[in-house]
Structure 1
Amino acid sequence: MAAKIFIDGEHGTTGLQIRTRMESRRDVEMLSIPHEERRNAAMREDMLNSADIAILCLPDDASREAVAMLSGNNKVRVIDTSTAFRTDPEWAYGFAEMDKAQAERIRSARNVANPGCYPTGAISLIRPLRAAGILPDSYPVTVNAVSGYTGGGKAMIAQMEDTGRYDHIDAPHFLYGLNLKHKHVPEMTTHGLLARAPIFSPSVGRFAQGMLVQVPFYLEDLTGNQTPETIHATLAEFYAGQDIVQVVPLEQSAALPRVNAEELAGQDIMKLYVFGSATHVNLVAQLDNLGKGASGAAVQNMDLMLSA
């Protein structure tokens, strides 16, 4: 029997991308609320409680409300794409490759918190070094990133694309989160196994989908006699056998004139690069902010849960 899947918020950017990924599948039955009934609370609650897996593509408060609607229903499993539960220890964090046991945690979990796009890139670079004892937990980590504007949802898409709007954004590239209190910092800290919150500087470029996340380090401040080669070897060993997270060989990275933020648009994989010298390294994650960074990750987590 096909598993019943309900996307609560299917008309938003992330929900639409998930829906697109599910169109050709015959192993699931998609439950859906007609667009004109999307504010029908009773229908929404019925759909939530009728699903095998509910995927929440909602703002934080609405996600909490949806979870409350499932109170006492132990049959429905949840994947939440908001930031509401990403540091909650009772929820499995939905980054399957961040730990050798994480895929199994997701597979057996009732509730899964889908990661943010920026944290997926940052954690992918930080956590292997923490796990290997190379990166001190008190290191002053900095994370610099650029995302496609679809990461801001329908509102930002309209601001970037509709030149007639009063709040149209015509900048080719802009920084935001200038108070350094971005909502993704707590999950970077928690799942990056850091004792100090990283300094996170996000930005948006005039392209729809894609992302680059950079985490630089002074090699002399890491544990042991580290080089770009040893850092690369640590990442390669950590992600050995994975097909979604790919560590680019050093010789390929060294031959690149540039790294394109849009290269993986429309794909659900993530590439990791090591650039550097005898004194510094710059670790770079390249992904689609709506792929491995959001909708692609949600479908990956759903598939793990269905395989239980």
Structure 2
Amino acid sequence: MSSDGQATVFIDGEAGTTGLGIRERLGHLPVTLCSIDPARRKDADARREMMASVDVVVLCLPDAAAREAVAMADAMGDDAPRILDASTAFRTDPAWVYGFPEMDAAQPERIRRAARVSNPGCYPTGLVGLLRPLVKAGLVPDDYPITVNAVSGYSGGGRSMIEAHERDGGPAFELYGLGLGHKHIPEMKLYAGLAQLPLFVPSVGHFAQGMIVSVPLHLDLLPGTVSLADLHGVLAAHYAGSDRITVAEPCAKLVADALAGTDRMELRVHGNEELGQAVLTARLDNLGKGASGAAIQNLALMLGLEPPPPV
């Protein structure tokens, strides 16, 4: 705790895209942000001293560096801080709590009590948000051959992609990860409750922030008789009362960056009953509910604070 009784937070990697977003949003929480002198930010002793002095460390680092930071914290024993990690390194680790509070009714309490919380990935936030309630309700079988198509703003690609798009204009649209081994796939499978890996095709558009995750379904391949209204109803019931996740009505078109700058997510069930086809969509800001906004929500829960209203 700081001298004024506020919880203390250290962002390791605060100069990165996610770190900057978290730092900006911390103004909505009654916490004290502690920082290392920029000249010593890679000094192991300085980082260790900082970790030992704060209540929570937020890691905004590449996977390998995040693992090193957690090993450093673990070596502190009883002096170790609680950790919220924004990397992919621990998202499927059973010793860590997954930081998607809306996933289940008990998830907020798990996050409150956890010493180690993994912040979800942006693409998995959309996919898990859409599919997990439907799989749990039995409307979508866990062995259904799931295909995930998604487009993100270029800010999700890190500094080099951001600079390329802002300096040279970048491509209008590009598919990537066509080797089908994207690092988010195990996270999607685990938390959506799937029995097999989804086929995931990500893409990037020439816009800074925003994201659409879409999942096509053949209604006649679902068990029994499942209607569009059934799918919508399960999602609406699951997220009833959420101030961040809205189950909206279907629409004729979706613009990917419509929620840029917000911490909200919109879920929809589109389809054609006569054709027996549906498309589930999740729209969010890859840097909001898909990253920094989710981190603030998790941080508030970890510190026993009321999460701030979504932007």
TM-score interval, normalised by the smaller of the two chains: over 0.9
Q: 2:256 aligns with which of 258, 261, 272?
A: 261
Q: 2:37 aligns with which of 34, 44, 55?
A: 34
Match of 2:125 in 1: 120
1:289 and 2:289 aligned: no
Please list the CA deviations of residues 227-246 of structure 1 after superposition, one character each: whole Å capped at 9, or x if unmatched. Answer: 11110001001111111111
Return 5+ residue gaps in structure 1 as ranges: 164-168
Match of 1:18 in 2: 22
Percent of counterpart pairs with the same letter?
54
For 1:176 and 1:73, the matched residues in 2 are separated by: 43
Q: 1:7 aligns with which of 8, 11, 36?
A: 11
Which residue identity is paired with 2:61?
L
Match of 1:280 in 2: 277
Please list the CA deviations of residues 253-303 of structure 1 after superposition, one character each: whole Å capped at 9, or x if unmatched. Answer: 2xx342111111110010001100110110000000000000100000000
For 1:216 and 1:73, the matched residues in 2 are separated by: 48
Which residue identity is paired with 2:205?
G
For 1:56 and 1:273, the matched residues in 2 are separated by: 32
Match of 1:111 in 2: 116
For 2:269 and 2:47, the matched residues in 1 are separated by: 46
Match of 2:56 in 1: 53
Return 5+ residue gaps in structure 2 as ranges: 306-311
For 2:11 and 2:183, the matched residues in 1 are separated by: 23
Cα pair 2:51 2:80 within 8 Å, conserved = no
Match of 1:85 in 2: 90
SS of the equivalent of 1:162 reads: helix
Which residue identity is paired with 1:96?
P
For 1:305 and 1:24, the matched residues in 2 are separated by: 15
Please list the CA deviations of residues 76-129 of structure 1 after superposition, one character each: whole Å capped at 9, or x if unmatched. Answer: 111000011000111000011011111111111110000000000000111011
Please list the CA deviations of residues 156-207 of structure 1 after superposition, one character each: whole Å capped at 9, or x if unmatched. Answer: 11121122xxxxx731010100100000000000001111000000000001
Match of 2:211 in 1: 211
1:94 and 2:89 aligned: no
Please state how far the C-alpha of 1:24 moved relative to its aligned partner: 5.5
Match of 1:166 in 2: none
Cα pair 2:148 2:201 within 8 Å, conserved = yes
For 1:74 and 1:199, the matched residues in 2 are separated by: 43
Cα pair 2:88 2:184 within 8 Å, conserved = yes
Tell which deviates more after alignment, 115-124 or 27-36: 27-36
Number of residue pairs the alignment of both structures matches: 297
Tell which deviates more after alignment, 266-275 or 28-37: 28-37
Give RMSD over aligned pairs.
Answer: 1.2
For 2:80 and 2:37, the matched residues in 1 are separated by: 24
Q: 2:265 aligns with which of 266, 270, 275?
A: 270
For 1:74 and 1:140, the matched residues in 2 are separated by: 46
Which residue identity is paired with 1:218?
H
Label 1:73 to 1:60 Cα distance change in 2 as closer, same or farther (>3 A).
farther
Cα pair 1:107 1:304 within 8 Å, conserved = yes
Please list the CA deviations of residues 28-63 of structure 1 after superposition, one character each: whole Å capped at 9, or x if unmatched. Answer: 110112333222221111112211010000011111
Provide runs of 4+ in structure 1 moved above 3 Å. Answer: none
SS of the equivalent of 2:217 reads: strand
Match of 2:309 in 1: none
For 1:299 and 1:108, the matched residues in 2 are separated by: 16
For 1:74 and 1:182, the matched residues in 2 are separated by: 36
